[in-house]
């Protein structure tokens, strides 16, 4: 019976591809094993339900409403592209909609395992059909037809029947092949790559066991509370720790699985990937190669731990990653990034300084920059009472002393890409810039509010201050920037920050561990940093897609809200002076070739991001690529002409000279080189600081005159 079903499926797909009838199912065809939950998993489920109800910050009852949301979340997690399940499956699952809450409370997982089994059946059927098609010698792709594929199927309906599903997968397979062809692969190599990709995916689906099913079922439930509450089975906890070690020893990246891809979540400051400068959050890794000559191994559909094992390796060795860049103008064209493996050293994450000069046409100003990659502290040395323990605050205090000796007129604190770290360090660093007062409020699950994190001494530096942030400034970095903004101590400029304003803890359950959100950060103004992040006083172009990166990009993220403010002084009357400084900024950036280039580049990226379909016609796709390359060339030549530089005559000349000293600037703050000549956002931050200094001096002059 099941072989007959496979034959019908393959026949339909083969006909849709124009291949004719497939006469037999492969010898390796067999149904996936039916998985059942264990008594230990039932007990663990009850514990997790109770822990979430008792300790999670979001107080929500487990009732029919949550049960309904849970079914939708579970189906979306299993099949986010709406490409495996059929409409009839979804209709059949409806009778579970208001029963799942009662089953979870009782530790019964029959419905979850039944849905998981149907999912595995659909995946195995589909992948077997594709593999069978790719094994046919007479199979060829036809890229001459004018047709397209919907890129984002998150809101698309599930296929109404097998015929519609076959048509969808015909296009998906064709799109995958065309991507490889446009990357320079020959037809035989394309078929081999795709055959290996789908055969590997099939193997991995068949290897799934009851632990995989249980984790999928439970995490669909925990994600209804917030995106940072997760269940780790014993095996996944080990993989989680391996991935975190990859962030410290390997390439310096935190990864996660999204759909069939391995996605970059974040980069560790001063890690190998950060230093190399090309890999970025939200990039999707599609292949991994060892050394400069090793074959690129296709990893689409692989388990996260398997991809991590490929990426890890001895320090001072090379790994090559083929990625689909999140910030690229084409969502389906990969590029290869070469990274030297290494280990992240604490001293490489240390704050550092630089001094540069800017003129307003009348006076030369000396400006200090302190780059703060993370809020770090050597906890072992601190606990052992080592008087020379290393920390962000101690390093910045020293740098402030050095800048004072250099007689700088003002200071920029650069928190771009600072993913946070020690809350203690965020507090003590704030202490260097404000007098005594609260820095952050923390509200617990029981709604009690703690205000123990305070500045406790007089400010070390009292001069003009600018804090530069971006979308990757998160957690502790947001607490510091928010405090500076609330105290009106300085100007916060850049792009809206990440919006991570919650605190998690790991707690053991019967099997595995539960990561649970237990508290929330609030600024002294009473506003949360959660979801909304810190909104700068002056906004810069946002090259990172907020729909892909940041707390607001997550489903079920805790919302922004506010509590009572706590009394705090305000240092400068920014409300009075900010309009003038903003006006000067607006005028200046309209004439700055590098800044205009970034704005133009952003427009091009936004157009690309708004695309909902991709052409499956080779000529049309090549034309699109050529047009994008010509447009990129035009933007660069516009910049070069405005700066009096020699323009590029061809795209090839532009690409060949891409690493030139006078090459296009980038807003992807990677490698953390303090150089305003190559960093237009830092340069403009300097001009804003100069305007701030002048405005403050004018105010003081007026006070003296009025006196």
Query: Beta-carbon neighbour count of residue 700 at 10 Å?
Result: 10
H helices then E strands: how many in the chain? 21, 23
DSSP 448: -
Q: Over the range 258-293, which residues count as b (16 or more CB within 10 Å of their CB) and which as e?
A: eeebbbbebbbbbbbbbbbbbbbbbbbbbbbbbeee
- Cα–Cα distance measured from residue 221 to residue 58, given in angstroms and rounded to the nearest whole number: 13
Q: Which residues pair with 324 in a beta bridge?
A: 284
- Cα–Cα distance measured from residue 696 to residue 699, given in angstroms and rounded to the nearest whole number: 5
Catalytic residue positions, numbered:
475, 486, 500
Q: Categorise residue 475: left if φ over 0, alpha if ψ from -120 to 50, beta otherwise.
A: left
Q: How buried is 364 (Cβ within 10 angstroms: 0-12 exposed, 13-18 middle, 19+ buried)?
A: exposed
Q: Tokens 């000067």, residue? A: 584
Backbone angles phi, psi at 377, to 5 degrees: -155, 140
Query: Beta-carbon neighbour count of residue 689 at 10 Å?
Result: 28
- Cα–Cα distance measured from residue 542 to residue 50, given in angstroms and rounded to the nearest whole number: 41
Q: Do 392 and 422 meet the contact criterion of CB atoms below 8 Å apart?
A: yes
3-state SS class at 158: coil
Sign of the alpha-carbon torsion through 536, 540, 546, 548: negative
- Cα–Cα distance measured from residue 150 to residue 335, given in angstroms and rounded to the nearest whole number: 23
- Cα–Cα distance measured from residue 309 to residue 246, given in angstroms and rounded to the nearest whole number: 9
Q: Which residues pair with 367 in a beta bridge?
A: 356, 410
- Cα–Cα distance measured from residue 46 to residue 52, given in angstroms and rounded to the nearest whole number: 10
- Cα–Cα distance measured from residue 536 to residue 485, given in angstroms and rounded to the nearest whole number: 8
- Cα–Cα distance measured from residue 117 to residue 31, given in angstroms and rounded to the nearest whole number: 10
Q: Which two tokens stand for residue 182?
A: 């446009």
Q: Do 179 and 625 meet the contact criterion of CB atoms below 8 Å apart?
A: no
């Amino acid at each position: 019976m099941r072989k007959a079903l496979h034959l019908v499926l393959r026949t339909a797909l083969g006909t849709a591809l124009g291949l004719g009838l497939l006469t037999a199912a492969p010898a390796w065809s067999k149904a996936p094993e039916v998985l059942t939950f264990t008594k230990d998993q039932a007990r663990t489920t009850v514990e997790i339900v109770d822990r979430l109800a008792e300790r999670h910050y979001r107080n929500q009852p487990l009732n029919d409403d949550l049960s309904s949301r849970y079914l939708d979340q579970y189906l979306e997690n299993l099949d986010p592209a709406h490409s495996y399940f059929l409409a009839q499956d979804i209709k059949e699952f409806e009778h579970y909609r208001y029963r799942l809450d009662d089953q979870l409370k009782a530790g019964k997982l029959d419905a979850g395992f039944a849905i998981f089994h149907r999912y595995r059946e659909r995946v195995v059927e589909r992948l077997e059909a594709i593999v069978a098609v790719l094994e046919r010698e007479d199979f060829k792709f036809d890229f001459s037809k004018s047709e397209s594929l919907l890129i984002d199927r998150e809101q698309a309906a599930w296929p109404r029947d097998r015929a519609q599903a076959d048509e969808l997968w015909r296009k998906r397979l064709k799109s995958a092949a065309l991507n490889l062809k446009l990357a320079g692969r020959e037809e035989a190599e394309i078929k081999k790559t795709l055959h290996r990709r789908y055969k590997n995916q099939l193997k991995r689906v068949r290897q799934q066991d009851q632990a995989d099913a249980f984790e999928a079922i439970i995490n669909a439930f925990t994600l209804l509370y917030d995106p940072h509450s997760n269940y780790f089975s014993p095996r996944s906890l080990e993989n989680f720790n391996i991935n975190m070690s990859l962030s410290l020893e390997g390439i310096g990246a935190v990864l996660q699985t999204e759909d069939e891809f391995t996605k970059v979540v974040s980069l560790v400051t001063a890690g190998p990937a950060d230093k190399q400068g090309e890999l970025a959050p939200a990039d999707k890794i599609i292949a991994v190669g060892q050394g400069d000559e090793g074959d690129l191994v296709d990893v689409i559909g692989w388990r996260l731990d398997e991809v991590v094992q490929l990426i890890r390796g001895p320090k001072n060795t090379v790994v090559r990653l083929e990625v689909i860049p999140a910030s690229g103008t084409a969502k389906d064209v990969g590029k290869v990034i070469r990274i030297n493996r290494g280990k992240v050293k604490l001293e490489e994450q240390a704050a550092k300084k630089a001094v540069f000069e800017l003129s307003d046409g009348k006076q030369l100003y000396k400006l200090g920059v302190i780059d703060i990659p993370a809020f770090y502290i050597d906890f072992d040395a601190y606990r052992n009472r080592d008087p020379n323990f290393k920390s962000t605050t101690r390093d910045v205090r020293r740098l402030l002393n050095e800048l004072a000796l250099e007689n700088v007129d003002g200071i920029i604190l650069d928190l771009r890409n600072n993913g946070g770290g020690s809350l203690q360090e965020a507090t003590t660093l704030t202490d260097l810039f404000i007098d005594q007062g609260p820095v952050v409020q923390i509200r617990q699950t029981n709604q009690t509010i703690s205000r123990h994190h305070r500045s406790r001494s007089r400010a070390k530096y009292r001069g003009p201050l600018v804090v530069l942030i971006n979308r990757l400034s998160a957690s502790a970095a947001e607490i510091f920037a928010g405090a500076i903004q609330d105290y009106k101590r300085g100007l916060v400029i850049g792009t809206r920050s990440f919006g991570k304003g919650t605190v998690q803890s790991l707690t053991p359950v019967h099997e595995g561990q539960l990561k649970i959100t237990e508290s929330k950060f609030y600024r002294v103004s009473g506003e949360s940093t959660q979801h909304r992040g810190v909104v700068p006083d002056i906004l810069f172009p946002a090259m990172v897609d907020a729909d892909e990166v940041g707390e607001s990009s997550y489903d079920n993220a805790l919302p922004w809200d506010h509590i009572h403010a706590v009394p705090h002084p305000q240092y400068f009357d920014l409300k009075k002076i900010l309009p003038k400084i903003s006006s000067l900024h607006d005028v200046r950036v309209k004439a700055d070739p590098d800044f205009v280039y970034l704005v133009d580049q952003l427009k091009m990226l936004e157009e690309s991001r708004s695309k909902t379909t991709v052409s499956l016609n080779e000529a049309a796709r090549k034309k699109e690529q050529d047009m994008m390359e010509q447009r990129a060339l035009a933007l660069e030549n516009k910049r070069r002409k405005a700066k009096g530089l020699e323009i590029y005559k061809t795209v090839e000349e532009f690409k060949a000279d891409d690493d030139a000293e006078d090459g296009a600037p980038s807003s992807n703050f990677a490698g953390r080189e303090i150089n305003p000549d190559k960093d237009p956002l830092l340069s403009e931050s300097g001009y804003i600081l100069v305007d701030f200094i002048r405005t403050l001096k004018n105010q003081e002059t007026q006070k003296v005159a009025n006196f």
